Structures are given as C-alpha cells and as structure tokens.
Amino acid sequence: MDRMEYHYVINSDYDKKLKFDKQEFFCFSCKKFKKELSDNAIVCGRITTRTKEDKDKEKSRSDDTTVLIKEKSYTLYDDKDKGGLLKRKVGYILTDDGKYVLLVKSRIPIILLFFFGACLMAAGIIIGGSMLNKEPPTPPVPPPDSNAGLIIDDTESSDDSDNNGDTLEDEGGGSVRLSYSLNANLTTADGKISMYFANPKASNQSITLELCIVNGDNLIKIAQSGRIDPGQGINIMEFIPDSAILETGTYNAMYIVSCYDVETGEKALVQPRIQDVALVVI
C-alpha cells in the first residue's frame, strides 16, 4: 500500500494555541471539539510527539500514514481515542482531507515529577520524625583521674578525725556517701594540691571534683579532677596554670561535685557543693 500523508490545515475556528514537539500552532481544544464538532467529525487517528521509533519507521516503511504539521511529519496511529494514565489529549487539528487528528502528549515527565516529589516528601517525614524521636546524646563521661595519687578506699566513711563524711542524693534515687578532708595544701613550686576525697565502694555513682576559691560572690576554679569511680579516691589535684595569682596564706575554698550514673553515664542535674574548705598556699 502506498504511503499516505495528511496535511495540517489552518482554520479560523481554532480556539487553542499549542506547543507540540517544540513547535507552536493553533488547534481545536478538546472541550470545543466535543461540544461543537464531534457529532459530524471523522477522526482518522491520533499522533504523539515524534520519537526515535517514529523517525526510524518513516525511513524504513512505505505504508505508514503520516501527518505533516509545518515541517515535521508524525506517524498516524489508528486508535482514535488514546488517552489514559500515561497520555493525555491536548487538542484536535483539521487535515486537508476534511478529517480530524487527535493530538496526544505523554504524562510521563509529570508523573515522574510527582513521584520524585512524593519520595522526597516521604524521606523528609521519615528523617524529621526520626530526629524528633531521637533522644539527645548523653554527654561523654569524663575520663578516669590519672593523677598519681589515685587510691582505693574500702570504707564508707573514714575514722580519721581530720576527715568528714556526707551523703549526697540525686532526684533519681541515687546516693553517694563521700569521705573527704576540709583541708588542702597548694605548693606553688610544683602546682600540687595535697587533699583527700574518696568515693566509697558502696556508692552507685561516679564523681568529678572542682576545687574553687571563694571570692565574694565569685568562684575561681583552680583545679579539676578526672572521674573518680566507686571504691576510689584521690589525694592530689593539679593546680590549673594562670587560673589565679595566689600569695602565701589561707584561702576559703569549696568543692563542686558532679555525679554520673555508673550504668548509663547520665550526669545528675544537681551539683552538690562542699564549703568551708581551707586552702593553704605555701
């Protein structure tokens, strides 16, 4: 069968301007065609945007029917009402044979756009939800005290008359029975602070210490311990260089105690303070 070709015809009744396959032309809208023309019109087929397959067919076959719009040729398919999920009707054109041709565009780019948008939205919801539900990270527990004066204390309190004891409790029910001395000596020559502070084995919390000088309403931290686990104690702290300029004499100081759960590492909200520590600088 010989090759047939329909030609696009300009009509003054066209009511829609269409961009089709990178070229613009006028056509009948689907609404107008259905309302005014469909009863007497003969639709000979439909065309879609040219694909590589269409172009290859035009070169290799001679029995295809085509439609020429301006300078582009389109393969005419005989299914006259091709729409649906992946394709949409966009209009009709009149040919030189008095017949009409349905114009169809692919919905695939739009569907892909919605699909990727939905995926991004779902990912955002999942990530946002996981971040909202994620518990805040627990701050790392301080490292063990590496001071050479680390000792083991097997008692819950000391019988030494120079030592004092106190029981500290937190809101979670944890408690710690501390044994300590209210006397501390700082040797400026080597920066060593002789003192005593023990965390007995019966304790269920690890602790760290800050030694601070009380200056009116201000506290000046001059030493910081590492972690003291239950059953351990220290008798030496290191002076923090340049933390304070201290002359020979006695200063009012205090210990600030930070407590950590031995199982979870969670830090207690309350930091007990042990006051009236006599710091002697020599």
Q: Tens of pLDDT along 9-65?
A: 999 999 999 998 888 999 999 999 999 999 989 999 999 876 555 555 555 555 678
What Cα–Cα distance (Å) separates residue 222 from each residue in 211, 258, 274? 6, 16, 15
Q: What is the CATH number of domain 150-281?
A: 2.60.40
Residue 256's H or E segment, with its range, is strand 249-261
The pLDDT of residue 89 is above 60: yes
Strand-pairing partners, residue 20, are 23
Q: What is the pLDDT of residue 87?
A: 79
Residue 111 CA to residue 149 CA, distance in Å, equals: 72
CA–CA gap between residue 193 and residue 255 (Å, rounded): 13
Straight-line distance from the first to the last Cα atom of the chain, in angstroms, rounded to the nearest whole number: 117
The sign of the CA dihedral 77, 82, 83, 88 is positive
Domain coordinates in residue numbering, the chain: 4-108, 150-281
Q: What's the predicted TM-score (pTM) here?
A: 0.48
d(CA 30, CA 15): 10
- Percent of residues in the chain assigned helix, strand, coil, to nearest 5: 15, 45, 40
